[in-house]
Chains A and B, each alone.
Chain A
Amino acid sequence: MSASAEAAVRGVGRDSLDALIGRFGEGSVPSGVRADALARYEELPARVSIRGGRGWKHDLEKLDLSAITPYSDGADEATTLPASGAALAAGVTIERFSLARERHRASFERAFGTAVDTRDDKFASLALAFARDGVFIDVPPGVALDEPLEIDYHAGPAALFPYTLVSLGAGARATVVERTRSSGDASLVCGIVELVLADRADLTYIVDQRADEATRLIVTRRAVLGTDARLNALCAELGGNHVVSRLRALERAPGARVETVVFFFSAGKQHVDIETETIHAAGNTQSQTIVRSAGTDRGQGRYFGNIKILANAHGADASLRDDALLLSEGAHIDSVPALEIAANDVRAFHGATVGAISEEELFYAQTRGIPRAEAERMIALGFFEPAVSRFPGEPLREQLRLALENKLGPKPV
């Protein structure tokens, strides 16, 4: 391809979509679906749930993507598929998203689009229109995997539009880890994650996002759960420059359970925008949401957490706990937990705190000889521990603790 032709493919419009399809084919998303999605992206408002604080400098309505390169020209090396011999032997499908429809039509079509509705969502529409990278995982009914399936996304200079589709059959059990990293010249990661859990399926889904602090990430995650299915979603959103991460779980059938744990730490000039929503749409459904966040330097954060209990969700049990820690004058975190309850016989709890490190804790540590700066680090790391300790495996927990520690700046001597 000549330099001039390359230069023509910029931005996220009709031309660049046609160029993508011309270059790689339509892949797993039909051209017409892509075109419709692009049209919606262009028409829909960004619809931000809550306003940021005074320091908030990213306005999605004014987001200008005209200069981005919408795809990398090479093979889709940005995605590394899980390598698990045991899973393959057990009949699990692990496929590149771009090849999934062609190679696994029946199982792909059973799952694709069942949890995500892009019709009213600007950035999910954009992700769908340009979807190329990504993974399709299908775990057949009754198959239980002990070994985690690890997906790696690595964004480079070209924008990355990953689609992660995970489908668990009835009674299946799996752990999926989604790691996102990027190089310093990366521009945009705009993705969709779709988690489809049949009856009694049990999925632990882990987000380990440590992209470079110059990368913009906008990821829409949607899950749908059948009868007695269980989703444990654990999200560490530590990297990125501007991060928009939204997770919605729909408990569609009785007995479904969702545990959501999210933590983030806005340092430097990071803006992190997190939304979680659990919809109780059937009886005896449960959900627990735990969010921990901290801000330092000029870091900005906002969290919008919603629990929706529909009228027929008798006996639903939901809790949402959100705590934020401010470590500098310039940092700001807004927190809005919300409950929408239409049923009568339910239990629902929500609570939120935003505050600085307590002087009493600092004084206590200092009387033990621990210098103030070191005490602050220790207390701040401890603040995340109720979230970190929920992640499976000591090696991962140690990595996350180390990543948090690095964000606190160099250790005082």
Chain B
Amino acid sequence: MGSDMSERGLVISGLRAGIGGPEGAEILKGIDLAVEPGSVHALMGPNGSGKSTLAFSVAGHPNYEVSAGSVRLDGEDLLGLAPDKRAKAGLFLSFQYPAAIPGVSVANFIRTARQALHPDDLTPAKFRALIFEQLDVLDMDAAFLSRYVNDGFSGGEKKRLEMLQLAMLAPKYAILDETDSGLDVDALGAVGKSVDALRKSTAGAATGFLIITHYPRILQHITADHVHIMLDGRIVKSGGPELAHEIEREGYDAIREQVAASVG
């Protein structure tokens, strides 16, 4: 596999993918998308358009099979790598429905992850200081750290844990999948603040974001530089933040009609 280390960005080219196995069907029908360092892209689409398939295919979920195309992170080909190696390359995925890991504390989980991604770069004292700082940003108290990962968490707590990990792991590129689903306004605000804080920090200034969402409301908390509309496994329209307002006013059906008209 060729790798061009001078290329910057999370670059998805001609990606075709779907659920693997004999029952499998192609869901992504050729996706081209490039997230530059420090930029925020929003990918919007109705349920079933393939947004989560894109997130899982890029992160390497074993149930998804890529049939064509490539995904490169700053020039490094991701598709041949195990999920942990993709994380090591600099990718982070915030889950729509993160798994619970009973018996493993939040502190232990994040420490193990941080150690895997950035071995020995923080003394225990500095790790502690950093995690408490991030808890503050998220309005969480220290007791959160001794709870088991996502075990019995509310929707808001799950998203806050995803954001805590995002901050603590300082990835080069972060995909936030449906980060607004099932969140109240406070939790949504906390997600916005957290992304904001990361973008303003030294570690996160160059982080590129791909925010995957159905509803535009998360974009009131995080300003996107680019908005893409996904329908039936294809990106059918790209533009600036105004595209999100168009969806808010007119819904996905209007876009669907535009696309049908231009094709027809």
Which residues of A does B touch, CB under 8 Å? 358-361, 363-372, 374-375, 378-379, 381-386
Contact = CB atoms under 8 A, between A and B. Distances in A.
B116 A371 contact: yes
Nearest to A383: B103
A360 B62 CA distance: 9
12 contacts: A359-B63, A364-B99, A367-B86, A368-B165, A369-B84, A369-B113, A371-B82, A375-B84, A378-B101, A378-B104, A385-B103, A385-B148
B84 A366 contact: yes
User: Closest 3 interchain pairs by CB?
Assistant: A382-B103, A385-B103, A368-B113
Given A364-B99, A365-B113, A366-B84, 17 more contacts: A361-B101, A363-B60, A363-B62, A364-B101, A366-B60, A368-B87, A368-B109, A368-B112, A368-B116, A368-B117, A369-B84, A371-B116, A372-B84, A378-B101, A378-B104, A378-B108, A385-B104
Nearest to B84: A366
B169 interface: yes
Contacts, number: 86
A54 B71 CA distance: 46
Contacts of A361: 99-101
B221 interface: no
A165 to B, nearest CB: 35
A379 B83 CA distance: 17
Interface string B188-230: 0000000000000000000000000000000000000000000
Interface residues of B, number: 31
Interface of B: 59-63, 82-84, 86-88, 91-93, 95, 98-104, 108-109, 112-113, 116-117, 148, 165, 169
B169 A368 contact: yes
Most A C-beta atoms less than 10 A away, residue of B63, B84, B100, B113 = B84
B103 A359 contact: no
Contacts of B112: 368, 370, 374, 378
Choose among A364, A369, A378, A379 the residue with the greatest number of B CB atoms under 10 Å from its CB.
A369
Contacts of B100: 361
Nearest to B151: A382
B169 A369 contact: yes
In terms of DSSP, what is the predominant structure of the interface of chain B? mixed
Contacts of B61: 363
Contact of A369 (B60, B88, B99, B108): B88
Nearest to A373: B84
Contacts of B91: 367
Contact of B99 (A358, A371, A378): A358
A367 B103 contact: no
Contacts of A379: 101, 103-104
Given A370-B113, A378-B104, A360 B99 contact: yes
A404 to B, nearest CB: 11
Contacts of B88: 369
B116 A363 contact: no
A363 B63 CA distance: 10
Contact of A364 (B63, B98, B103, B117): B98
B103 A384 contact: yes
Contacts of B108: 378
Contacts of B93: 367
A359 B64 CA distance: 13
Nearest to A387: B103
B116 A370 contact: yes
Given A374-B112, A378-B112, A366 B87 contact: yes
Q: Which of A368, A370, A374, A381 has the most CB of B within 10 A?
A: A368
Given A361-B99, A378-B112, A382-B148, A367 B83 contact: yes
B103 A381 contact: yes
B101 A369 contact: no
B169 A363 contact: no
